[in-house]
Structure 1
Amino acid sequence: MEREGRIKKSWRYNRDPIVLVTAVLWVFLPLSAAAAAKASFDYKEALSKSVLYFEAQRSGRLPYNQRVAWRSHSGLTDGLQQGVDLVGGYYDAGDHVKFGLPMAFTVTMLSWSVIEYGNEIAAAGEYHHALEAIKWGTDYFIKAHTHPYVLWVEVGDGDTDHYCWQRPEDMTTSRQAYKIDTDNPGSDVAGETAAAMAAAAIVFRDSNPHYSHLLLHHAQQLFEFADKYRGKYDSSIREAKRYYPSWSGYEDELLWAALWLHRATGKADYLDYVVANAEGFGGTGWAITEFSWDVKFAGVQILASKLLMEENLKKVQRQTLEQYRSKAEHYICACLNKNNGSNVHRSPGGMLYIRQWNNMQYVSGATFLLSIYADHLKDARYGLQCPDGAAEPDDLMDLVKSQADYILGSNPMHMSYLVGYGPNYPVRVHHRGSSTVSYKKSDSFIGCMQGYYDWYGRRSPNPNVVIGALVGGPDSKDEFRDQRENYIQTEACTYNTAPLVGVLAKLHRLISGPHIQKVSTPSSFSS
């Protein structure tokens, strides 16, 4: 669970050039055929485990084909007190609150992965599982959107949840539900949920047209709600402010949602919205060096850049999209260390480093955006000119591979930060269900404080491995302490792993051979 509001300054006051850490930089190997043949990491295995992780985070009544066997049903009365069915969805991290903003971002990134790399995911045998992961989230969003101008965006309370250390099957903490409406707006969470449903509508367009249409209907309503009744959700729901504060405001989410709706519908109105609000919402103004569940500007700018490939753009549209591209390339060049000193920090071992708390979310997000932009450069036959020199698509992919390899074990600690992958990974993950005896092995009730006494303080490894979880990761010096109480480094979140799905699928393709044939995806998906 994010608690960045307690420890970080607002990104709005952090626009000064970032001083590059003087360190030993990683040696980036090109993805040539020879280098690919010598690759030591099994990206297909890592992809399979990443997709599996989302089953460990499920809330609600688990399906018959649940593969994470140490989990059982939980949160079966969510929403009952408020008279609404809010059973389902995802727990965001190692606790049991369902936060709408990071959950929606998780689904958006999973959907974007499938949109861009669906053939590669299918070739690795994970297409159906990826769609199941998306649908588990969108089914919940449909339930949570009970009225065109009402969206339930949180179930549970972080403060009471953290007081207890229990399995989700034993929860005794508050399951109070919180909503946004016309009197209590939340444009950021409504906008992100609209983006998630629009992106998912694209995913399901061929395999489940009826479901795709339903998602698009909700997405359009939510965007209208977000735009018409503007406000930050953490001003309406104080319980969310300490855990997922909307530092960046709601403007990036409105642009983000409009771009996804344009991609899902092809309607010019959404592109006109992105153009008309480009300056006022900061889309062409903010040069950002991070991408996360909170700060979407880099993603917005890269999505907008891709629209330059379209024909019949009006002059003002093309000019504005060029401005978006300029800011997108600020982000890309900063990651490449070619941005005239305004670069993303790197650890001595070469890891992109944004901040102390859960840094791996920024690494996985960066790898995805770099991969997407590398594809765009190839498709557009466009050269990237950074302040410190030109960059080719292969340069971007070299960095993507180096960061993915760092995650999987090519780092000074020789540790895989993807749980369950490789011979050495975190075994004391800060995760209630993982660190406590499985409900399937012992259904004896574990009380609120009993979990702390009997399980939290144990020095032994967790009894259940939360496979595919990407933990917060090492600090700026590449140092990592595998301790359950070290939640800054050992807690994992759904939005850490989500961007890796597409990246690992692409890397598997590059290693296996550059020309994977199009794979037939399921003709229907209604489970």
Structure 2
Amino acid sequence: MSSYNYVEVLQKSILFYEAQRSGKLPESNRLNWRGDSGLDDGKDVGHDLTGGWYDAGDHVKFGLPMAYSATVLAWTVYEYREAYEQAELLDDILDQIKWATDYFLKAHTAPNEFWAQVGDGHVDHSWWGPAEVMPMSRPAFKIDENCPGTEVAAQTAAALAAGSIIFKQTDSSYAAELLKHAKQLYAFADQYRGKYTDCVTNAQSFYNSWSGYIDELIWGGIWLYLATNDQSYLDQALKAVDEWPKDWDYTFTMSWDNTFFASQILLARITKEQRFIESTERNLDYWSTGLVRNGTTERMTYTPGGLAWLEQWGSLRYAANAAFLAFVYADWITDQEKKDQYQSFAIRQTHYMLGDNPQKRSYVVGFGQNPPVHPHHRTAHGSWSNQLTNPSKHRHTLYGALVGGPDVQDQYADDISDYVSNEVATDYNAAFTGNIAKMVQLFGKGQSKLPNFPPQEPAEDEFYVEAAVVRNDTTATEIKAILYNRSGWPARSSKALSFRYYVNLSEVFAKGYTEKHIQITASYNEGASLSPLTVYDASSHLYFTEIDFTGVVLFPGGESEHKKEVQFRLSVPNDANVWDASNDYSFQGLTSNIQKTTKIPVFDRGVIVFGSLPS
């Protein structure tokens, strides 16, 4: 069996959620390429809906998968708190979960009102750029008594109830607040029943409720029972079980849409009822060694390399989810043969993701051998031109993200455009994080997290000028200059950028002329103002003109949005013939070919951000 630094994987998989944060980031933000984003969320409806997680590589805050992911992450702490403590990562995972639960409290604006989504998925998915500079409007969508959404209300109730359990030891007042909202949301979910995508129709193309809402009512009731020990919540969960289809499926697994497979394991543990035990074992047998039915063995499809393969879209996500259920159930049962069977299955699936596969590669970004470097993630890619292919390499490392995964033949292409294989999402990582916590418990003795992690990424040139000589003679110099905003540490918009072009007027002064005789004009201009020559060093006759784009928004969000061009001319009277650009500071190195130059420095609100000044 291969061995990995499971504490390192856990450390990185937790950090993935930090990369998914929306809203005003705290000073403790560890990713220098992430900044504030979505700061106007909720303004269209008069509420503060900032915060929460972007669900995947896009920038929509989808309530159902966010709540599911938060619930599962809280469940992993509920099961493996000691493993997180052993890894010295308990504070980290609680901090990530709290980012989501804080948002749920904001979004629950009345007992029977919850804002289930922020952002239009169709509009959002038509633009490719960093979260910090999203140009589109972000409408908010709610559920209420008139337009209910049982799935998202009950799932959020589960997240808040599970959160109340894990925070109770460290912040009892916060835990009580979470539980209060969980109770209200669960009552709302049960009393006003309705499929949430019938109300939040924008979610239908992305996170449609295929399984209906009964599974969430079961799930929410279980977590409220675990949080309160109030029998009435368990009774509600069991009553909802009676409304679930009688022929319990065993061929699927836990997912953001279907939590029944998770519920039956907890119900088996809580109630000891044989129906839940048998159904759980049918499911886990089918996924692991095979299920014997009517004399034949039924088993999940396996790749040649040993991955339990449910479907192509997020193949590793489903294997990770099934593995987590197997780990949790194996911890509870006393039958040693079954315990070994389920635990071995979960270990093998987890090791496949870490590198024990035919490609001999990790499927976790930033970890192990030959990990993915092209996840389908807008902000990590860092395009400035609204293009999937530009730049050709990601500017940022999305540490800890579990990608979608290989096909049924173990084939995988690390290609950003293949969103089926390379999508990342909060729900992909949730159970996987729990699996790694269990691996720390099993095999992580003596292992430690990486010090000084994550490393601060060195920034590339974010603002700069490219220039070329259009004309140069004894009367004038004409320059074509393009000012760029390709910021990414983090990406940011500016409407106060300028650059300065420096000239030496020694030859002009020698012939009796002064800076007042120099005309500065533009033959092409995308919004700049051109200043008269300003003295920089009178003793050396050094002057500059400021090409100022103040008021013009430049942001790394499109081909024309991230750059502005100006063609400007400095000229003396036509009969003077005293102009000589060869001694001009900013002219040095320029040719007729456009090129980046440090001798035309760039300023943002008057502060130099690129290039160098004349000495």
How high is the TM-score relative to the length of structure 2? 0.70
Deviation at 1:119, TM superposition (A): 0.7
Aligned partners of 1:100 and 1:153 also within 8 Å: yes
Aligned partners of 2:37 and 2:132 also within 8 Å: yes
| Off by >4 Å, runs of 4+ in structure 1 | none
Aligned partners of 2:289 and 2:341 also within 8 Å: no
**Secondary structure in 1 matching 2:34:** coil
Q: Runs of 5+ in structure 1 lacking a partner? A: 1-28, 30-38, 310-320, 384-390, 438-445, 515-527
Which residue of structure 1 aligns with residue 279 of structure 2? 327
Deviation at 1:69, TM superposition (A): 1.6
Quick one: distance in 2 between partners of 1:481 and 1:327?
A: 36
Which residue of structure 2 aligns with residue 260 of structure 1? 223
Which residue of structure 2 aligns with residue 214 of structure 1? 177
Which residue of structure 1 aligns with residue 386 of structure 2? 451
Quick one: distance in 2 between partners of 1:259 and 1:343?
A: 29
**More deviation, 141-150/336-345:** 336-345
Q: Runs of 5+ in structure 2 lacking a partner? A: 447-615
Q: What's the C-alpha RMSD, in Å, of the aligned pairs?
A: 1.7
1:179 counterpart (130, 135, 142): 142
1:233 counterpart (191, 196, 199): 196
Aligned partners of 2:7 and 2:444 also within 8 Å: no
Deviation at 1:513, TM superposition (A): 4.7
Aligned partners of 2:214 and 2:241 also within 8 Å: no
Matched, 1:122 2:85: yes
Quick one: distance in 2 between partners of 1:277 and 1:473?
A: 34
1:173 alignment partner AA: M
Which residue of structure 2 aligns with residue 490 of structure 1? 422
Which residue of structure 1 aligns with residue 345 of structure 2? 399
Cα 1:171/1:205, change in 2 over 3 Å: same
Deviation at 1:284, TM superposition (A): 7.4
For 1:94-493, list aligned pairs within 5 A.
94-282=57-245, 285-308=248-271, 321-340=273-292, 341-377=297-333, 381-382=334-335, 391-436=337-382, 446=384, 450-452=385-387, 456-458=388-390, 460-493=392-425
**Secondary structure in 1 matching 2:27:** coil
Aligned partners of 1:286 and 1:297 also within 8 Å: no
Quick one: distance in 1 between partners of 2:257 and 2:150?
A: 12
Which residue of structure 2 aligns with residue 14 of structure 1? none
User: Can you list the C-alpha shifts for 1:71-128, whole angstroms capped at 9, x where unaligned?
Assistant: 1000001000110110000000000000000000110011001111011111101100
Quick one: distance in 1 between partners of 2:259 and 2:239?
A: 18
**Secondary structure in 1 matching 2:16:** helix
Quick one: distance in 1 between partners of 2:64 and 2:329?
A: 25
Quick one: distance in 1 between partners of 2:437 and 2:156?
A: 25
**Secondary structure in 2 matching 1:277:** helix
Cα 1:273/1:247, change in 2 over 3 Å: same
Which residue of structure 2 aligns with residue 508 of structure 1? 440
Aligned partners of 1:152 and 1:178 also within 8 Å: yes
Aligned partners of 2:218 and 2:238 also within 8 Å: no
Quick one: distance in 1 between partners of 2:247 and 2:183?
A: 24
Deviation at 1:211, TM superposition (A): 0.5
Quick one: distance in 1 between partners of 2:39 and 2:207?
A: 24
**Secondary structure in 2 matching 1:152:** strand
Quick one: distance in 1 between partners of 2:417 and 2:44?
A: 33
2:15 alignment partner AA: L
Deviation at 1:451, TM superposition (A): 1.7
Quick one: distance in 2 between partners of 1:207 and 1:101?
A: 27
Quick one: distance in 2 between partners of 1:116 and 1:500?
A: 14
User: Can you list the C-alpha shifts for 1:146-192, whole angstroms capped at 9, x where unaligned?
Assistant: 01100101000111011111110110123000000111111011110
**More deviation, 130-139/339-348:** 339-348
Deviation at 1:283, TM superposition (A): 7.3
1:304 alignment partner AA: L
Aligned partners of 1:283 and 1:300 also within 8 Å: no
Which residue of structure 2 aligns with residue 387 of structure 1? none
Deviation at 1:460, TM superposition (A): 3.1
Deviation at 1:338, TM superposition (A): 2.3
2:398 alignment partner AA: V
How many equivalent residue pairs? 443
User: Can you list the C-alpha shifts for 1:381-434, whole angstroms capped at 9, x where unaligned?
Assistant: 246xxxxxxx42122111111111110111111111111001311111111111
Aligned partners of 2:307 and 2:352 also within 8 Å: yes
**RCO (CA 8 Å, sep 6+): is it higher in 1 or 2?**
1
Quick one: distance in 1 between partners of 2:246 and 2:107?
A: 29
Q: What percentage of residue pairs aligned between the two structures are identical?
A: 41
Quick one: distance in 2 between partners of 1:436 and 1:148?
A: 40
Quick one: distance in 1 between partners of 2:227 and 2:308?
A: 32
Matched, 1:67 2:30: yes
Aligned partners of 2:374 and 2:422 also within 8 Å: yes
Quick one: distance in 1 between partners of 2:237 and 2:61?
A: 30
1:348 alignment partner AA: P
Q: In proportion to residue count, which structure has more helix?
A: 1
Aligned partners of 2:401 and 2:424 also within 8 Å: yes
User: Can you list the C-alpha shifts for 1:316-362, whole angstroms capped at 9, x where unaligned?
Assistant: xxxxx321222111111111132123322111111111111111211
Aligned partners of 1:255 and 1:283 also within 8 Å: no
How high is the TM-score relative to the length of structure 1? 0.82
Larger Rg: 2
**Secondary structure in 2 matching 1:506:** helix
Aligned partners of 1:284 and 1:327 also within 8 Å: no
**Secondary structure in 1 matching 2:206:** coil
Quick one: distance in 1 between partners of 2:287 and 2:344?
A: 12
**Secondary structure in 2 matching 1:346:** coil
Quick one: distance in 1 between partners of 2:26 and 2:425?
A: 22
